[in-house]
Amino acid sequence: MALANFFDKISLGAAQRIKNYDRSSFENKLLATRLAIVYSDNAVQTNEGKFALDLAVRILARLYPNIQFVDHSSDGYGSTITKELKATSFRINPVLNVNEVEAPDITLVIGSVDDRQVGGQCFFTGSSGWKATFSTQSSMNCADTQNPFGAAASVCIAAANIFRFLFAEELGHPSLDREVCFSVFSQQINAINKEEPALPADITLGFTLVGTGAIGNSILWCLLQLPTLKGFLNLIDDQEVSLTNLQRYALMEQEHVRKSKVVELEKMFTRFPNLTVNPFLNKWQEIIATLRPNDLELMAVALDSKEQRLLIQSTLPKKIINAWTSQQDIGVSRHFNFAENVCLACLYIPKQKQKSESVKIAESLKLPEELVRNYIANSIMVDEGFIFMVAKSLSIPVDQLRSLIGKPVQVFYSEGICGERIIRSSSASGHQDLEVPLAHESFLAGILAAAEIIIESAQLRLNKIEPLTKINLLMPLHNFLKEDEEKNLQARCICTEPIFVKRFKTKWSL
């Protein structure tokens, strides 16, 4: 029994949510907790139940070191699924403990079960199409549709409640969701009887995904659950999978470390013969001018940087779906009419002067800013001299940094400052500039974005919806998740400039 080999990144994410964080206490609580995933015929015999089981493993196996798989199904099919779930969990965390002898402390119940068959503090999930159902009182049913969105959201809601329950004292005793029905389609709660459109059996995609990190992985996990896909999908990301990425990348496992993100993701879509997946191993700025107009009709943005979002909007895609995570909330924003409605840039125009990328990195690594700026501006890869300077300035062994030689300084920063090397070994203080969400937070942001992509691609939403949805997973869900937003007139956003509006209308023949 041991914590995953990417636990240092998990620890940083927890430290950004828990006041007076103590790593030793956090580790000990996780090591002492036995978590069970319980399921029966309803889960193993329905599509939505199987969606939920797969995602539950992909979330929980990254954080919790002790997981029991408890199958109460009445036929042999459940045992086959249990083997698959265990195999997936070990591909994520090879040292996971699956001992099922001791009674669980916490139980995640997926689908309808006999409530007498569960123990510990129970969290019940179910779903029906777009709707996610959750309860702390009794088991919920999983429907047998081919819509993964309600099932996926229900698991994220459950994972958030499990985290709040286990770390209640450290988080200030937040309330749990008692019983809730959340619609991924309307993004409202407790609209149980509200009619919502069925997911089409045949879905045509045509969009470009910028960023295949945690949110991008979650978007693509959702698409992979759909029965048929056709059209095209562009994947843009120049980075490889690092070990620390496994903390919250839905589709990434130990075997993917040090491999190209987009190349590995492309391989996962081979079962869709009518879908063309185009992997671009580039920064988006390097290839945006080479993309066809229809590549830019719908762009999904899943980047960490506010500055990059501003630049993307300046290229004037026709429609943008944006997803984010932050310490305050996770969410999705919809930008379907640059000329008339709030644009992506409106949300990210800085209210005060921001530190440049080179200044942030230099301060974190305690290096001269001119040196860091030179490496970034001239695309100089991290070399022996660079890691010696970092090791000296932060008083850490140089050998812990050698595996980062040959990477861009920005990657060195994200993997070192936010990874297992520098955080564990020094008192480097700059890492708080980088958000490190918990797995279920990134997963839910991606699920919301994927749903918007499908809704827009299939033109399922007939009525206008507010442009923003924000969810704080450290507190119970409420019915004021959607927010209206006006154009940023005070900061003179580009969408208020006649020259940009004219260029947008000309570009898209509006």
- Output the pLDDT for position 354: 63
Residue 410 has pLDDT above 60, yes or no: yes
Residue 280 has pLDDT above 80, yes or no: yes
Burial letters 446-480, b for 16+ CB under 10 A, else e: bbbbbbbbbbbbeebeeeebebbbbbbbbebbeee
Residue 431 has pLDDT above 50, yes or no: no
pLDDT-derived band of residue 100, with 50, 70 and 90 as boundaries? Answer: confident
Task: Name which of 1-15, 236-250, 333-347, 436-450 the model is least confident about.
Answer: 1-15
Q: Are 475 and 165 in contact (CB under 8 A)?
A: no
- 184 dihedral zone (left: phi>0; alpha: psi -120 to 50; beta): alpha
Q: Does domain 203-347+444-507 have CATH number 3.40.50.2000?
A: no
Q: What is the pTM of this model?
A: 0.88
- Output the pLDDT for position 99: 80
Alpha helices in 93-239 (DSSP H): 149-166, 214-224
3-state secondary structure of 500: helix
- Output the pLDDT for position 435: 62
| Beta-bridge mates of residue 131 | 128, 183
Q: Which residues contact 272 (CB under 8 A, 6 or more apart)?
A: 228, 229, 230
CA distance 477 to 473: 8
pLDDT-derived band of residue 428, with 50, 70 and 90 as boundaries? Answer: very low
- Output the pLDDT for position 491: 67
pLDDT digits (tens, 9 = 90+) for 151-200: 999 999 999 999 999 999 999 999 999 999 999 999 999 767 778 999 99
- The arithmetic mean of pLDDT across residues 13-41, rounded, is 92
- Output the pLDDT for position 398: 84
pLDDT digits (tens, 9 = 90+) for 455-507: 999 999 988 899 999 999 999 999 899 999 888 877 689 999 999 999 999 99
- Output the pLDDT for position 429: 41
For residue 293, the number of C-alpha atoms closer than 13 Å in the C-beta half-sphere is: 5
- The arithmetic mean of pLDDT across residues 217-239, rounded, is 97
- Name the amino acid, one letter, at 163: F
pLDDT-derived band of residue 423, with 50, 70 and 90 as boundaries? Answer: very low
Q: What are phi and psi of 455, to 5 degrees?
A: -60, -45
Structure tokens at 356: 């440049």
- Output the pLDDT for position 394: 83
Round the CA-based radius of gyration of the chain to a whole number and report it: 23
Task: Name which of 177-191, 212-226, 316-330, 390-404 the model is least confident about.
Answer: 390-404
CA angle (373, 381, 12) in 5-degree steps = 80
Q: Which residues contact 446 (CB under 8 A, 6 or more apart)?
A: 214, 215, 216, 217, 218, 219, 221, 222, 250, 302, 323
% of the chain beyond a pLDDT of 90: 69
- The arithmetic mean of pLDDT across residues 129-146, rounded, is 96
Residue 358 has pLDDT above 90, yes or no: no
Strands 482-483 and 131-135: unpaired
* CATH number of the structural domain 7-183: 3.40.50.720
pLDDT digits (tens, 9 = 90+) for 443-454: 999 999 999 999
- Where in the sequence of the chain do the CATH 3.40.50.720 domains occur? 7-183, 203-347+444-507
Structure tokens at 505: 């209308």
- Looking at every residue in the chain, the average pLDDT score rounds to 90
Helix axes 384-394, 409-417, angle to 10 degrees: 40
CA distance 58 to 54: 6
Please name which of 243, 235, 315 lies closest in space to residue 269, comparing C-alpha atoms.
Answer: 235
- Output the pLDDT for position 437: 82
- Output the pLDDT for position 479: 85
C-alpha to C-alpha distances, 436 to 57, 251, 406, 468, 504, nearest whole angstrom: 20, 18, 24, 22, 35
For residue 141, the number of C-alpha atoms closer than 13 Å in the C-beta half-sphere is: 5
Q: Which residues contact 101 (CB under 8 A, 6 or more apart)?
A: none
Q: What is the DSSP string of 56-73?
A: HHHHHHHH-SBEEEEE--
- Output the pLDDT for position 4: 94
CA distance 166 to 121: 10
